[in-house]
Amino acid sequence: MVSGGAVVTEDGAVTEDAAVTVDAILLAGGRASRVDGAAKPLFEVNGRTLLRAGFDAVRAGGARKIVVVGPRLDDDLAVTWTREDPPFGGPVAALIAALADVDAAEVFVLACDLPTAGPAVAALPDPLPTGVDGACLDDGRRQWLIGRYRTAALRAAASGLPDRGRDAAMRALLGGLRIEPVAVNPALTRDVDTWDDLRTARGGAMTESRTLPPEALNEWSAALAERFGLSEGDIPISLILDLARDVANGVARPAAPLSAFVAGLVAGRAGGSPSDTQAAVAAVVEMARGWENR
């Protein structure tokens, strides 16, 4: 990592000798619409989930406290979980929500869709140089979500945004700050935004069944229908996947298959028609979306 200079503390004092402290914010709660609502942080690349890769990267970078914004996806990680209110408010709203749990003078900000999280974080200055409010990677564009920032500067910028940053662009938060760009090869910032991106990150092969697109389930659905004497319309793949996504985001990932089972029971008791299934799924989704505010 690149060495820095003086340390600017939360109260604005400057010291040359104090050891700089750094926490981390991992953003893991987007809609992931280009991968059919799948939980991107749980995609596995090189034997690790993208969430774990981000966690390992900032821990190796010296982060003491790690705050993850999004649904609780991995109970084995030693992190603080939080969520912007309401959910899906965008990265600025998520970052602002996490700042309440940040104690350190500096903070990593990292999206959990980056297979190269380790070397990407390692390329950031440590600590930040004197005279800047932060640093982020630049592959020809500012990659705001692969950065290290002064916590006080983020809080000051956040205080000027309406609606707690909901639907705001990262430039609205960081554009007025002194951000040092760190020039890197685009390969270092290549994230996973689509199924093709995931195939590329895995070297061309997707072997994890949980990250297959819905159309890949057609063969399995057809086999189930044949085995149990069902029609194609009896297995609404997209409806059930939407249910699983909403429950995973609103409650927890392990609650998704449980909820699908309960929806099936409820629909069966009601008569088992397509409308019965839709009504049962809608009721479960409504519960899941309000679960965090109960």
75, HSE (Cβ side, Cα atoms, 13 Å): 3
C-alpha closest to that of 109 among 98, 125, 123: 98
Structure confidence at residue 96 (pLDDT): 97
Look at residue 2 and tell me if it is in a domain. Answer: no
Q: Is the per-residue pLDDT at 111 higher than 50? A: yes
Total domains in the fold of the chain: 2
**Range(s) of the domain holding residue 91:** 7-189
Residues 32, 96 contacting (CB under 8 angstroms): no
Q: Is the per-residue pLDDT at 199 higher than 60? A: yes
- Between 173 and 17, name the one with better pLDDT: 173
Look at residue 1 and tell me if it is in a domain. Answer: no
Ordered DSSP codes for 62-126: T-SSEEEESS---TTS--EEE--SSS---HHHHHHHHHTT--SSEEEEEES--TTHHHHHHTSBS
CA 58 to chain centre: 14
Structure confidence at residue 101 (pLDDT): 97
- Between 129 and 9, name the one with better pLDDT: 129
Look at residue 208 and tell me if it is in a domain. Answer: no
Structure-token pair, residue 192: 């996973």
Q: Is the per-residue pLDDT at 211 higher than 50? A: no
Give, to the nearest 10 degrees, the angle between helix 237-250 and helix 255-270: 130
At 101, the amino acid letter reads D
Q: Is the per-residue pLDDT at 26 higher than 90? A: yes
Structure confidence at residue 264 (pLDDT): 87
Structure confidence at residue 123 (pLDDT): 96
Q: pTM to 2 decimals? A: 0.67
d(CA 106, CA 102): 9
Structure confidence at residue 21 (pLDDT): 94
115, HSE (Cβ side, Cα atoms, 13 Å): 18
Structure-token pair, residue 179: 């951000």
Q: Is the per-residue pLDDT at 65 higher than 50? A: yes
Q: Are residues 238 and 181 in the same domain?
A: no
Would you call 266 exposed, middle or buried from its count of C-beta atoms within 10 A (0-12, 13-18, 19+)? middle
101, HSE (Cβ side, Cα atoms, 13 Å): 19
Q: Are residues 162 and 47 in the same domain?
A: yes
Look at residue 95 and tell me if it is in a domain. Answer: yes
Give, to the nearest 10 degrees, the angle between helix 274-289 and helix 237-250: 20
Q: Are residues 19 and 61 in the same domain?
A: yes
pLDDT (mean) for 102-123: 97
Q: Are residues 167 and 243 in the same domain?
A: no
Q: For residue 150, what is the domain's CATH number?
A: 3.90.550.10
User: What is the three-class DSSP state of 289?
Assistant: helix
Q: Which of 2-16, 58-72, 176-190 has the lowest mean pLDDT?
A: 2-16
* Backbone CA torsion sign across 158, 90, 58, 72: positive
Look at residue 113 and tell me if it is in a domain. Answer: yes
pLDDT (mean) for 84-107: 95
d(CA 128, CA 130): 7
- Phi and psi dihedrals of 154, rounded to 5? -65, -45
Look at residue 275 and tell me if it is in a domain. Answer: yes
Name residue, tokens 């002194």.
178
Confidence tier at 42 by pLDDT (50, 70, 90): very high
Structure-token pair, residue 159: 């205080």
Q: Are residues 185 and 52 in the same domain?
A: yes
Ordered DSSP codes for 150-191: EHHHHHHHHTTSGGGGTT--HHHHHTTS-EEEEE--GGGG--
d(CA 80, CA 95): 13
pLDDT (mean) for 136-140: 96
Residues 29, 87 contacting (CB under 8 angstroms): yes
**Boundary-marking domain end, from 156, 189, 222:** 189
Confidence tier at 81 by pLDDT (50, 70, 90): very high
Structure confidence at residue 8 (pLDDT): 53
Q: Are residues 144 and 183 in the same domain?
A: yes
Structure-token pair, residue 177: 């700050």
Q: Is the per-residue pLDDT at 13 higher than 50? A: no
